[in-house]
Structure 1
């Protein structure tokens, strides 16, 4: 039996070197900057000699970069090329561009299109605010699903039991306002389903409130759109405009993604 074949289970066995490569690249992606071999080995628990050889191989291939001393390592430029190709080839991102542009014009605030990946949401596209005071944003940013309007809008398209299976009982506190009790979050998701949108009340970033809606081209939904606004600029009238614009954007995206 060759490497990668299963022993009668019907599923292919994991290739150790491939698993380690993915773990290493994801480790770098979550920790920007350069890191020593000792720190990487401590975090991943891989054999030091094997880790060193893997790092040198990835450096030669351009997936990992190193400093002038050759002793510190970080993510390489080829990872950017792969990430960009994912965005460039995604049909939903392409179909959403006119709607995101219009939503940005209608609200004048920061707009995000994101996709759920396990217990996180990942930004696929953004439109910056037209105001000087605006949140930091970038494509590829990963945020907790439970502390964001995007994530809560997506979780609300799942059953309560599915949410409980996905999330632990105690959730990470990103800010002092984050919901950290899973059952409290489940209760809020019922309200999200009723009103059709989710709200992040400074639960992910202090001073920032976000509103999000799921894009229903799949059930459960995997993508959502949000609008973020500093609380200092959020009036009751502006909030109503944002909600109305999000509902219109959801309807336009439903048509644009109908056959996906």
Structure 2
């Protein structure tokens, strides 16, 4: 069950404002449902909020554009204002603006799909993507959250942290394919390999048929951003893998040099 407003904290030692926490929890819940709209009763139950209070909150957010309702007034989904806010986040981030041209460079050099993602607790969030010209994807990755243990981007960032400080969820690790690490000991052994070679490898751990190579951007410590290259395993020859690693290492070095020189940007927590 999702956290209710009364269960959530601010993480800063400051007591959270109940109405604000409830609003955030509702928006996060609707966002996590993707293309599955929710009914009033579902939302009230999931967040442990009285039905009347949930209705008032929903109507306020509908009026403000943060939530949308269907023509029958019985279904609710995330609203267009969330898109505007998300776009502003990307446009205002110095790191994202700096990295974008180098994603283009890697994509042109390799012809494969290139990603930029940021660690967000036990997940990574995709901030930018350059799609391969060789195979098409039907869903944009930007804004999606994926458990960090399940792919090259996340493992590259986890490996930058001591094992005792890894932001992993409690209990078994979620499986996306038969190759996903669901055992912490196996994940830790993989992360040790990442540290030794300097980059992460995902062999069909997130998506069947795709391999990934992830590289942490170490302009800050510990790294919070990483880039990756995804390649269909059907054409991943040893020669092509070597080419991918070589190009991505070069791109990694260029980005780290530029971001290390960047100044004047806020030091976000």
Coarse TM-score class (shorter-chain normalised): over 0.9
The structure whose RCO (Cα within 8 Å, separation 6+) is larger is 1
Provide the residue aligned with 2:173 in structure 1. Answer: 171
Deviation of 1:101 (Å) = 0.9
Structure 1 segment 26-41 matched on structure 2, within 5 A? 26-33=28-35, 34-41=37-44
Partner of 1:18: 20
Point out where structure 2 has 5 or more consecutive residues left out of the alignment.
Answer: 1-11, 263-269
Match of 2:87 in 1: 84
- How far the C-alpha of 1:134 sits from its partner, in A, is 5.1
Say how many residue pairs are matched: 250
Taking structure 2 as the reference length, the TM-score comes to: 0.89
Alignment of 1:148-167 (within 5 A): 148-163=151-166, 166-167=168-169
Superposition CA RMSD, Å: 1.5
Shift of 1:256: 1.3
Pick one of 207, 210, 218 that aligns with 2:209. 207
> CA, structure 1 residues 135+107, in 2 after alignment: closer, same or farther (shift >3 Å)?
farther
Task: Give CA deviations for 1:48-94 in whole Å, capped at 9, x if unaligned.
Answer: 11111100100011100000011110000000000000000110011
What TM-score do you get using the length of structure 1 for normalisation?
Answer: 0.92
Secondary structure of the residue that 2:177 maps to in structure 1? coil
Gaps of 5+ in 1: 1-9
Structure 1's consecutive aligned runs of 4 or more residues displaced over 2 angstroms after TM superposition are: 132-138, 165-169
Q: Distance in 1 between matches of 2:31 and 2:84?
A: 14
Counterpart of 1:94 (choices 94, 97, 114) is: 97
Once the two structures are TM-superposed, the CA of residue 42 in structure 1 deviates from its matched residue by: 2.4
